[in-house]
Amino acid sequence: MYRPARAVIDTAAFVSNYRHAKSLAANSRAVAVIKANGYGHGAVRLARALQMEADAFGVACIEEALELRESGIQNPILLLEGIFGPDELELVDKLDFGMTIHNRRQLEWIENARPARPFNVWLKLDSGMHRLGFSSEDFAQAFARLKACPHVEDIVLMSHFARADETGEDATLTQLERFKQASANLQKPVSLANSSAILHWPQTHGDWVRPGIMLYGATPLDRPGEESTALKPVMQLQSEIIAVRELGPGEAVGYGARFVCDKPTRIGVVAMGYADGYPRHARDGTPVAVDDKKTRLIGRVSMDMLTVDLSDIPDAAPGSQVELWGDHIAANEVASHSDTIAYQLFTGITRRVPLLYR
């Protein structure tokens, strides 16, 4: 490895965060959501680290499920959006994937299949997010059809929250109420809670929780409390200072001269840019750590580099270690300075950045 940009992945922190999720939802089983290559952290490596204790893994699609099975992962795997066409059912059967059913088309494909062993399906209600799922009116009928299907064995009833991250907003309770009404007589295990709901809405936990972002050490809550402090960052996005500049008042740094010095300023150039996945929209003042000391981004982020203020870190020099997010700088802080969320930062890390496991 030559260029110093790298993402160091702490699989022990991932395991610890999973245990924390399980401790918050002590009576639930947990689907560890590792879609999108484990939110950019490397799904196979994370699955290996957790395979002894994961109740199941959750992925977005069969391509992601195949990668896990082909790497020897034997835990149950759930396709969170189910299948996109009937031709997937052969692999679902052969490799024993669970699948969400959120519409009538998927239901028909399943009814018409003749698998070697029964399917495990997660029937999804649209309880208010209005993205995927059966309406309250159609839910019971879809359930009855699945029950009548000789090759459907386990059924889990599921839904997904739109606003569980908003701790002062009761939309989650409204969705919970709708779900309870629609599923009242169906007598099956239920699954509702994403990370936000695991952290903040214990009444939603049910039989299966589905932690995602919290496993990577970022809290999704708008006002994080106690329950979030135990989360450990899994990714350390790091690089090094590769050049230092002394600028005088009135001089500017970078494209568009976005930052103009108002006093003598020492600037460090870091080998990390938007082509690595660092957000181009990060504003001046976005926190960055150099040699474990907190400072700020100044000037526009370029494709391969960004610039930071070293005025208060006189010992920093080419070769100094830089953390873009990790133990010193929360990904959430960088996200809020870039008008985005930690989810997008993590999944946006590009293949130019090597993932190193420790």
Ligand X SMILES: *Cc1c(COP(=O)(O)O)cnc(C)c1O
Instruction: Give the span between the Cα atoms of 182 and 220, in whole angstroms.
Output: 28
Catalytic residue among 94, 147, 180, 255: 255
Burial 263-284 (b: 16+ CB within 10 A, else e): eebbbbbbbbbbbbbbbeebbe
Least distance from ligand X to the Cβ atom of residue 220, Å: 5
Identify which of residues 34 and 310 has a Cβ nearer to ligand X in the complex. 34
Identify which of residues 49 and 198 has a Cβ nearer to ligand X in the complex. 198
Catalytic residue among 35, 216, 278, 343: 35
Identify which of residues 183 and 265 has a Cβ nearer to ligand X in the complex. 183
Identify which of residues 32 and 107 has a Cβ nearer to ligand X in the complex. 32
Q: What is the dihedral of CA 7, 14, 82, 88, to 10 degrees?
A: 70
Closest C-alpha to 237, from 257, 221, 220, 217: 217
Phi-psi bin for 141: left (phi > 0), alpha (psi -120 to 50), beta?
A: alpha
Instruction: Give the span between the Cα atoms of 35 and 316, in whole angstroms.
Output: 38
List residues binding ligand X (CB under 6 A): 33, 35, 80, 160, 194-195, 210-213, 220
- Give yes or no: 255 in active site: yes
Least distance from ligand X to the Cβ atom of residue 177, Å: 19
Phi/psi of residue 57, nearest 5 degrees: -115, 145
CB-nearest residue to ligand X? 212
Identify which of residues 30 and 272 has a Cβ nearer to ligand X in the complex. 30
Phi-psi bin for 130: left (phi > 0), alpha (psi -120 to 50), beta?
A: left
Closest C-alpha to 292, from 318, 267, 313: 313
Least distance from ligand X to the Cβ atom of residue 213, Å: 4
Residues annotated catalytic, as ranges: 35, 255
